[in-house]
Structure 1
Amino acid sequence: MSERHDRHVSDRHVYEYAVLRVVPRVERGEFVNAGVLVYCRPLAFVAARTHLDETRLLALDSDVDLEGVRAALRAVEGVCAGGDAAGQAAHDDAGRRFRWLIAPRSTIVQPGPVHTGLTADPAAEAERLLEVLVR
């Protein structure tokens, strides 16, 4: 390998991500992708990017609590951001917050499976994943 290739690879870090899904009626198994969680351990980075397509969600369940879904997505973003917005998770490191957020749950906003990749810029990767997987 060339020195240039080695340097390029060494600038990239392993990251993990999961898609956030809104499941308005669990018994039907239908969902709308509404965000991504991204965690990069070497950079102590964790973030959530969300976008709720309300029209698609209402097509699955016209009675869905949109304000409740918006609040749940904001809460996920708050936990990722840390500080006062993270509530009880405020003092946890990025990894613990990510692991807590990807734990299986039966609420209307649920994490999908965790996947991995390589990136030099996890914040840009979060935006890219949001565009590709959600919007």
Structure 2
Amino acid sequence: MTARLAYQYVVLRCVPRVEREEFLNVGVVVYCQATDYLGVAWNADRDRLLALDPRLDVDQVCDALAYVEAICAGDPRGGAAAAQPLGQRFGFLKAPKSTVLQPGPVHGGVTADPPRQLERLLTQLVG
């Protein structure tokens, strides 16, 4: 029988105009402590984002998502957060921020394969 591992995840939302409380899911971050896994997958659909707000700087959203990738990977481009242990990096990424890219609530589950679960969540929640 395959081991079932607990994991947590947050959906990353693009919120172009906070006052309107409209958002589009653009990514997912998965953290599995048991396997020392922290990963992100994202899809910033330019047409859908611009339909939400034609003035949105989509390149800026992509840069913010690349920053999240760097933090997950422990890449120096992620700054001081990228140098922290995985659990603290996930804590940083799941903390609410008042920027265009915001994390949703933390959810959990079990999986035998955290990277595969990340891809499933991306397909299911982002498209």
State the partner residue of 2:67.
75
The letter for the 1-side match of 2:62 is R
Cα RMSD of the aligned pairs, angstroms, is 0.9
State the partner residue of 1:87.
79
Q: Are positions 1:111 and 2:111 aligned together? A: no
Aligned pairs, number:
127
Greater share of residues in helix? 1
Question: Percent of pairs identical after alignment?
Answer: 50
State the partner residue of 2:119.
127
State the partner residue of 1:17.
9
Per-residue deviation, 1:53: 1.2
* 3-state SS, counterpart of residue 72 of structure 1: helix
Which whole-Å CA distance do the structure 2 matches of 1:36 and 1:134 have between them?
8
TM-score (norm 2): 0.96
TM-score (norm 1): 0.90
The letter for the 1-side match of 2:21 is G
**Structure 1 unaligned blocks of 5 or more:** 1-6
Per-residue deviation, 1:70: 0.8
Per-residue deviation, 1:89: 2.0
Which stretch has the larger CA shift, 53-62 or 85-94? 85-94
Of 19, 24, 45, 1:27 maps to 19
Answer whether contact 2:76 2:83 (CA < 8 A) is retained: no
